[in-house]
Structure 1
Amino acid sequence: MAGGDLYGRGRASKLPAGIWVLFGAIALSLSAVVAVPLVAALGAIPAPGHASAGIEATPSPTDDSSGLSPSASPTLSPSDEAPGVNADALALLAQIPDSPGKSIAQYYREQFGQAWFDQDRNGCDTRNDILRRDLSEVVLKDGTNGCKVLAGRLLDPYTGETVDFQSGASTSAEVQIDHIVPLAWAWRQGAEKWTFEDRMAFANDPANLLASIGRVNQAKSDSGPSEWLPPAESARCMYAEKFVAVVSEWRLGINRADRSALERILLACT
């Protein structure tokens, strides 16, 4: 036969293709018989960091109780950073624009209009409106349509002290009305550009006013939160929340130092 005889004398024999196919099938069958139990045995060995039934895995050095490595820790939101944090106030604070805290013109109280002007036209000046709101055991003067406060008792919002108020030339100053956001501070943060009418409305906004012990109000003066905080730590969250709310409502700016101070206070609130 061409290329060699049937028995392959003197050269490599050539088998028909069908014979090679048969050999291949036999080899695959033998491989399957051996592989199946081997795979089953290997499957009983757990992978690092995982446990299979009946076998406890040894945690890797980067495992912690959360299942995350230190480099994979999630980004915290304000509500995650401190329990009870006032997220609303922090969100408002974040929206308030930055301000250099400087004005072109000098501040004068008269730029905010008549002190304690009857802004709401209820027939009573703003000072007496706030005294009636914030004092307890209020005594009113006859013939003033329930306006003039003669006496009362104040629980000071900044110290927690109690003081008796008595109207009079030498005693009225013991209880004063504080602008939470001081007028001079507001002037430096944008109120300089307001109309006179807007400044007068701001000066008499009840949301920005609190009755307070006179010496505390005098110590606060026109300071922002980076320079003054309520003596009672328990009052600082209230103060910060109100300060932010007023600044946001009146679309004022805020300087860097006061923003940082407010952030620290609000993050510590519980």
Structure 2
Amino acid sequence: MTVRKGRWADVILVVLFTAVLTGLTGCAEFQVRIDPAPIPTGDAATVLATLPVKGRAPLTGYDREQFGQSWRDIDRNGCDQRNDVLARDLAEVEYRPGTDSCVVLAGMFADPYSGRTIPFRRGRDTSDDVQIDHVVALADAWRTGAQQLDVDVRERFANDPLNLMATQGSVNQQKGDGDAATWLPPARGFRCDYVARQVAVKAKYRLWVTDAERDAIAGVLSGCPGQELPPDSGIAGA
């Protein structure tokens, strides 16, 4: 086929555009707007079966800042998410005066991850005794689809109460960025609730699971047939 001289510019532009688009879709900087979805109905095992199964994407480009502001007041109640989770998960809560019952000073914490009960008191040397865990770790999320989300959606993910649980600091450090295939809570009685929450978070934010992760979650859920998903936090738009 003979291409007329006047058509060569159009052909070159199409080739260049295709090459650029291909390059963008292959890198972490190419992001799409995928809003969180309502958590599906059904038990955790049923929803697990609907999650895509893929290998881990590279951690290339990952940084905590990719998930926006830490402990943002995502639900706009005047309190940051760390204090909201402490207030939700602790008992006998004491607040700092003058903060409209927002800043948690002290409380008793029954840690579901370890089964231990420990006191919490805010302070330079004591605040880290109780930490806030991302149930689906940020690095794990990055490797299973979050790098394709825009930063606003990732910020919602990192601050969504559905994905946040208070736990003993040493236990949180042991978990690191592990998924269910590499880490489960020491308290076996909480494992069904824990993996059900992971399934809910991944379904809401349209993330995938690896083969090993799916098998590990399915193995836990086989011991608690009909395990329900936790209720959604209601966090959708920001």
Q: Normalising by structure 2, what TM-score? A: 0.75
- How far apart, CA to CA, are the structure 2 residues paired with 1:246 and 1:256? 17
Structure 2 match to 1:210: 165
- How far apart, CA to CA, are the structure 2 residues paired with 1:232 and 1:211? 14
Structure 2 vs 1, CA of residues 104 and 157 (structure 1 numbering), >3 Å: closer, same or farther?
Answer: closer
Instruction: Please state if 1:102 is matched with 2:54.
Output: no
Structure 2 match to 1:222: 177
Structure 2 match to 1:126: 81
Instruction: Please state if 1:252 is matched with 2:207.
Output: yes
SS at 2:46 equivalent: helix
2:72 to 110, 117, 125: 117
Render the CA deviation track for 1:94-149: whole Å, top value 9, x for unaligned: 00001211136331111001111111121111000000000000000111111000
- How far apart, CA to CA, are the structure 1 residues paired with 2:43 and 2:76? 32
- How far apart, CA to CA, are the structure 2 residues paired with 1:99 and 1:185? 13
Aligned length: 184
Instruction: Please state if 1:267 is matched with 2:222.
Output: yes
SS at 2:88 equivalent: helix
Render the CA deviation track for 1:145-190: whole Å, top value 9, x for unaligned: 1100000011001111000000001100000000110011001000
Deviates more, 1:106-115 or 1:142-151: 106-115
Render the CA deviation track for 1:6-41: whole Å, top value 9, x for unaligned: xxxxxxxxxxxxxxxxxxxxxxxxxxxxxxxxxxxx
Structure 2 vs 1, CA of residues 133 and 104 (structure 1 numbering), >3 Å: closer, same or farther?
Answer: closer
SS at 2:49 equivalent: helix
Structure 1 match to 2:12: none
SS at 2:118 equivalent: strand
Residue 265 of structure 1, CA deviation: 0.4
Query: Are the aligned partners of 1:103 and 1:192 in contact in 2 as well (CA < 8 Å)?
Result: no
Instruction: Please state if 1:163 is matched with 2:155.
Output: no
SS at 1:151 equivalent: strand
- How far apart, CA to CA, are the structure 2 residues paired with 1:252 and 1:268? 24
Quick one: percent identity of the two aligned structures? 49
- How far apart, CA to CA, are the structure 1 residues paired with 2:158 and 2:190? 22
Q: Report runs of 4+ in structure 1 exceeding 4 Å deviation.
A: none
Residue 232 of structure 1, CA deviation: 1.1
Q: Normalising by structure 1, what TM-score? A: 0.67
What letter matches 2:200 in structure 1?
A
What letter matches 2:212 in structure 1?
A
What letter matches 1:213 in structure 2?
Q
Structure 2 match to 1:71: none
Q: Where do residues 44-59 of structure 1 align in structure 2 (5 Å cutoff)? A: none
Gapped regions of structure 1 (runs ≥ 5): 1-86
Query: Are the aligned partners of 2:59 and 2:139 in contact in 1 as well (CA < 8 Å)?
Result: no
2:99 to 136, 144, 151: 144
SS at 1:95 equivalent: coil
SS at 2:132 equivalent: strand
With CA pairs under 8 Å and 6+ residues apart, which has the higher RCO, 1 or 2? 2
